[in-house]
Amino acid sequence: MAHRVQGVIARSKGAPVTLETILVPDPGPGEALIDVKACGVCHTDLHYREGAINDDFPFLLGHEASGTVAAVGEGTTNLAPGDNVVLAWRAPCGECRSCLRGRPWYCFNSLNASRPMTLEDGTPLSPALGIGAFTPKTLVAAGQAVKVDPRARPEAAGLVGCGIMAGFGAAANTGNVSRGDTVAVIGCGGVGNAAIAASSIAGARKVIAVDVDPRKLEWAKQFGATDTIDGSKDDPVEAIKSLTDGFGADVVIDAVGLPETYREAFFARDLAGTLVQVGVPSPEMSIELPLIEVFGRGGALKSSWYGDCLPTRDFPILIDLYLQGKLDLDGFVSETIGIEDVEEAFHKMERGEVLRSVVVL
Ligand SMILES: NC(=O)c1ccc[n+]([C@@H]2O[C@H](COP(=O)([O-])OP(=O)(O)OC[C@H]3O[C@@H](n4cnc5c(N)ncnc54)[C@H](O)[C@@H]3O)[C@@H](O)[C@H]2O)c1
Ligand SMILES: [Zn+2]
Ligand SMILES: [Zn+2]
């Protein structure tokens, strides 16, 4: 039996999102039906509605979600109804060439539900990042639902499902930030601030926050930034160097995703330093760098897909850090909103007024 619920839909490129009745099927083999409790509004949802990800409209938006398991399909052994979960957009398949080499955090064939959620007229929906959680019920592959401690409040826990994990993992996993490192983070939205928090927890000696919006820099201090740079006033490369004895930082994280921020990250590194790109560029962007500098500076130029996380390993760690008071997930929740307020939340995000608006269902 399909469940008739309301969902936030992006119908066409650039059009404001609409709240529409959708049909969510019961779970088939290996699938789980989730009662969504909370779902954060991420920049990637906006990228979808702008047509910057692909043209598979209509999209069911929302992908930073927590909830409880309502029902599981045949053969699902990792979950039971009532389990408290955070949804992941990576559910390792166990069979692709990366999983078979023991690197499931890169899984090249991540699992999603195979039964489609649809509009009332039967039009299949493309769920954002294979989730689609601006709706009280959603259908996912059972592997996408990761059990976490139920004491975490849903609005905070759901954020671990995307932006916080991506930023935290960009520092902790991809950048391998370690005790004594100097770190710079360019772009202090939800993703960048999570990278700052992770660097601070890892014992970085200096954590330098760069943004063009002074409000973001104030928030960055709360997550552990030791120094801040207003990129609209000062040259970030020179400013990062002057804060690191003239050398540059050991790890520089680009949490914006523009050619200019990538370039800044490249030149703001110390010799043998690591650049981590976690901000997502759009398809028309490109970058040119002197090859002798790429060689001569050494180190590593890395991109971070979802913070190179293994959700079943990393989500419970982040939730435990939160419950111990070491990772301030509540600090990312700027406001809680209703399901009808997602379009307005996009505008607040564009105006830089929030780290995260979180839909509560
Ligand atoms: N790699 C992944 O797996 C992954 C996962 C989630 C999100 N993302 C991406 O990460 C990026 C950041 O996401 P977010 O939710 O934090 O977005 P956001 O809009 O909340 O934050 C972006 C921040 O960058 C700042 N900024 C813009 N231009 C700048 C510049 N030239 N210099 C310095 N700062 C600048 C903005 O003021 C803002 O604070 C987005 O591109 C998003 O799509 C990537
Ligand atoms: Zn795989
Ligand atoms: Zn996201």
Residues 102 and 236 reside in one and the same domain: no
Q: Residues enclosing ligand 1, CB less than 6 A?
A: 42-44, 47, 162-163, 166, 186-192, 210-213, 216, 231, 255-258, 260-261, 278-280, 304-306, 349, 352
- Please state, in angstroms and rounded to a whole number, the distance separating the CA atoms of residues 182 and 205: 6
Shortest-distance atom of ligand 1 to CA 257: 41
Q: What is the pLDDT of residues 307-323, one digit of tens each?
A: 999 999 999 999 999 99
**Phi, psi angle pair for 106, to nearest 5°:** -105, 0
Residues 209 and 143 reside in one and the same domain: no
Residues 275 and 333 reside in one and the same domain: no
Residues 135 and 16 reside in one and the same domain: yes
Tens-level pLDDT at each residue, the chain (361 residues): 799 999 999 999 999 999 999 999 999 999 999 999 999 999 999 999 999 889 999 999 999 999 999 999 999 999 999 999 999 999 999 999 999 999 999 999 999 999 999 999 999 999 999 999 999 999 999 999 999 999 999 999 999 999 999 999 999 999 999 999 999 999 999 999 999 999 999 999 999 999 999 999 999 999 999 999 999 999 999 999 999 999 999 999 999 999 999 999 999 999 999 999 999 998 899 999 999 999 999 999 999 999 999 999 999 999 999 999 999 999 999 999 999 999 999 999 999 999 999 999 9
* CATH number of residue 264's parent domain: 3.40.50.720
Residues 139 and 249 reside in one and the same domain: no
Last residue of a domain, one of 304, 319, 341: 304
Most distant pair of Cα atoms in the chain: their distance? 65
> Ligand 2 centroid to 106 CA: how many Å?
7
Residues 230 and 120 reside in one and the same domain: no
* CATH number of residue 35's parent domain: 3.90.180.10
Instruction: Kindly state whether residue 317 falls inside one of the protein's structural domains.
Output: no
Residues 270 and 122 reside in one and the same domain: no
Residues 193 and 108 reside in one and the same domain: no
Residues 174 and 141 reside in one and the same domain: no
Instruction: Kindly state whether residue 67 falls inside one of the protein's structural domains.
Output: yes
Residues 257 and 347 reside in one and the same domain: no
Residues 61 and 187 reside in one and the same domain: no
User: How many angstroms from the chain centroid is the CA of residue 134?
Assistant: 16
Please give the residue range of the domain that contains residue 34: 3-161+328-360
Instruction: Kindly state whether residue 86 falls inside one of the protein's structural domains.
Output: yes
Instruction: Kindly state whether residue 55 falls inside one of the protein's structural domains.
Output: yes
SS3 of residue 341 by DSSP = helix
Residues 144 and 11 reside in one and the same domain: yes
Instruction: Kindly state whether residue 274 falls inside one of the protein's structural domains.
Output: yes
- Please state, in angstroms and rounded to a whole number, the distance separating the CA atoms of residues 45 and 10: 9
Instruction: Kindly state whether residue 210 falls inside one of the protein's structural domains.
Output: yes
Supply the pLDDT for residue 108.
Answer: 96
As a whole number of Å, the CA-based R_g of the chain is 20
Quote the number of domains for the chain.
2
Supply the pLDDT for residue 355.
Answer: 94
Q: In whole angstroms, how far apart are CA 293 and each of 107, 246, 283, 339? A: 32, 17, 25, 49
User: How many angstroms from the chain centroid is the CA of residue 305?
Assistant: 9
Instruction: Kindly state whether residue 320 falls inside one of the protein's structural domains.
Output: no
Instruction: Kindly state whether residue 103 falls inside one of the protein's structural domains.
Output: yes
The single residue listed with the structure tokens 């419970």 is 316
Which residue intervals of the chain are DSSP H helices?
Answer: 43-49, 97-100, 154-157, 163-169, 190-202, 214-222, 236-242, 259-267, 291-297, 311-323, 342-350
> Ligand 3 centroid to 293 CA: how many Å?
33
If one residue of 191, 232, 303 were mutated to test the ligand 1 pocket, choosing by the most ligand atoms within 8 A of its CB, it would be 191
Q: Which residues are near ligand 3, the ion (C-beta closer than 5 Å)?
A: 42, 44, 162
